[in-house]
Amino acid sequence: MTVTIYKSTDGSAPVLSGQAGKLVDLLDAILVNGYGAKPSQGWSIAYTDTNKRVYRLPTGTTQFYLRVDDTGTTDGRLRGWEVKADINDSVDANNTGPFPTDAQVSGGLYMYKSSTANATARAWQCYGNGKIFYLNIDVAGDGSTLRAMAFGDFTSYKSGDAYNCIIIANNSVAGARFPLLSNNSALTGHYVPRSYTQSGGSLNVGKHGAQEGGTSGMGYAGITYPNAADTMLYIGRVVIHEVTGYVQRGFLPGCWSPCHARPIAHFDTYAGAGALSGKTFESINSWEGSIGACQVHYETSDTW
């Protein structure tokens, strides 16, 4: 699918701020309606209410649902669903397969919009290919207090995987789980609807870098940049793993982990070489409260 990059600096871009409804306004524009010269991601709005939405992935995907409650000011609440029949956030005969469940994260995950509950605009960037999107927000307007989330279908290593959908967001208003990596452990704020076995329910998963380098976070630490032996920049796939049996489930398409500590500047672009020839990338700074400054590199070419 075509990769589209959305930024708050685009002409006609929606304004995101610490006010109720501003996150769903943004997601309406990116996922469903498009804006200015930017096409939408081809999703639909399954159900709607004041400052609430249930978005559905398009045909050719799992077609699972993302429910967003944006009635708050500084943050929205997020939850994935396998089956959704209304706008409500409760499990019943017609609404099944929530991820995460209330037992895992009561009320769902958080997406931090702004550090202030007012109309001050916040910079944001979003990368998507119709099947999955990654949203980054400069919540404090300082260029360093950044939060990110993801929702949609990942590339599974299991043939015929019908539950290869993931939600990654914050475990609390101020939390930031997206840039974290782990070894054989789960990460708070990372959930898939079911195991690779296709059974069970919402599963807390982790992710790790497929290339040697940074350990606990994308772009947090790692080898010296540029690598002394060949003056190269190294990046690796971001692999999703299940903890039981340490199963590598798949990877996040279009999302790469630099193997160096924030090796290049925010919004720097470059072309891949060697095995990554034909791909182009853009760096986005991120932040995780427990470790600090991180960085994610997104594919900007239609090569996801």
pLDDT digits (tens, 9 = 90+) for 150-165: 999 999 999 999 999 9
- Residue 69 clears pLDDT 70, i.e. is over it: yes
Domains contained in the chain, number? 1
- The structure's pTM equals 0.97
What does 254-291 look like in DSSP terms, one character per residue?
Answer: EEEEESSSS-S-TT-EEE--GGGTT-EEEEEEEEETTT
- Residue 31 clears pLDDT 80, i.e. is over it: yes
- Whether 76 maps to a domain, the answer reads yes
Q: Residue 60: which pLDDT band, with cuts at 50, 70 and 90?
A: very high
Task: Check residue 262 and give its pLDDT.
Answer: 94
CB atoms within 10 A of CB 36: 12
Query: What is the C-alpha separation between 40 and 2, in angstroms, rounded?
Result: 11
- Residue 136 clears pLDDT 60, i.e. is over it: yes
Percent of the chain with pLDDT strictly greater than 70:
98
Identify whether the C-beta of residue 233 lies closer than 8 Å to the C-beta of residue 270. yes
Q: Is the peptide bond before 258 cis (omega within 30 degrees of 0)?
A: no
- Whether 241 maps to a domain, the answer reads yes
What does 143-164 look like in DSSP terms, one character per residue?
Answer: SS-EEEEEEEE-EESSTT-S--
Q: What does pLDDT average to over the chain?
A: 95
Task: Check residue 52 and give its pLDDT.
Answer: 98
Q: Which domain holds residue 185?
A: 4-299
CB atoms within 10 A of CB 278: 10
Task: Check residue 301 and give its pLDDT.
Answer: 98
- Whether 304 maps to a domain, the answer reads no
Query: What is the C-alpha separation between 108 and 2, in angstroms, rounded?
Result: 30
